[in-house]
Amino acid sequence: MAMSAPFSGRQREAGFTLLEAIVAIALLGALLVPLYTLMSRNLDGLVRVGQANLQSEVTLNALAVLDTVNPMERPEGSVALGAYLLRWRSAALTTPVDGVGFPAGQSLYQVAMYRTQAEVSRLDDRGATTPWFTFDLRQVGWRQVRQFRLPF
């Protein structure tokens, strides 16, 4: 039996060397950075879409409330809409004029066009408000100035 030098007859053990592991980690990191960027942008976009949808929903609710408001009788005010506060202020764009009655003559009302500025704020638990967004709309204001008279 001849003696051989150490390690000369041994097979090389299977596995990764430290250098191969570092290269694999570097490649994996280089591939994950664009994937992370893509996912981050997609999540940011989803958050923006969610905020836009929420703002649209609150705007529709505010418009439904303002549809019931007569700016000639109530030129400013505020209403709580759950976790939001709607404030508005109206200013006349035209002078009030007599409406036209049907089929002819004057109506019982005077009408005018108004510009309404609305502000929606968020309400916190203590009742403090944080302004969120504003919008403008045009409204018709009316006021009864005559009584209906029977022709006989």
| 131 against 4, higher pLDDT | 131
Residue 117 belongs to a domain:
yes
Percent of the chain with pLDDT over 70: 90
Per-residue confidence (pLDDT) for residue 13, from 0 to 100: 66
Per-residue confidence (pLDDT) for residue 8, from 0 to 100: 53
Residue 127 belongs to a domain:
yes
Residue 5 belongs to a domain:
no
100 lies in which domain range? Answer: 18-144
Per-residue confidence (pLDDT) for residue 149, from 0 to 100: 77
Residues in the chain, how many?
152
Q: What is the CA radius of gyration of the chain?
A: 36
Task: Tell me the mean pLDDT in the region 97-120.
Answer: 90
In this predicted structure, which of 2-11, 23-32, 79-88, 115-124 has the lowest mean pLDDT? Answer: 2-11
Per-residue confidence (pLDDT) for residue 100, from 0 to 100: 86
| 4 pLDDT above the threshold of 70 | no
Residue 126 belongs to a domain:
yes
pLDDT single digits (tens) 54-63: 999 999 999 9
| 21 pLDDT above the threshold of 80 | yes
| 81 pLDDT above the threshold of 70 | yes
- Indicate the number of domains in the chain: 1
| 10 pLDDT above the threshold of 90 | no
In single-letter form, the type of residue at position 37 comes to: T
In this predicted structure, which of 87-91, 100-104, 112-116, 144-148 has the lowest mean pLDDT? Answer: 100-104
Q: Is the backbone peptide bond immediately before 71 cis, with ω within 30 degrees of 0?
A: no
Residue 151 belongs to a domain:
no
Residue 106 Ramachandran class (φ > 0 left, ψ -120 to 50 alpha, else beta): beta
Q: What are phi and psi of 13, to 5 degrees?
A: -75, 145
Residue 41 belongs to a domain:
yes
Cα–Cα distance for residue pair 39/115, rounded to 1 Å: 44
The mean pLDDT of the chain is: 89
Per-residue confidence (pLDDT) for residue 57, from 0 to 100: 95
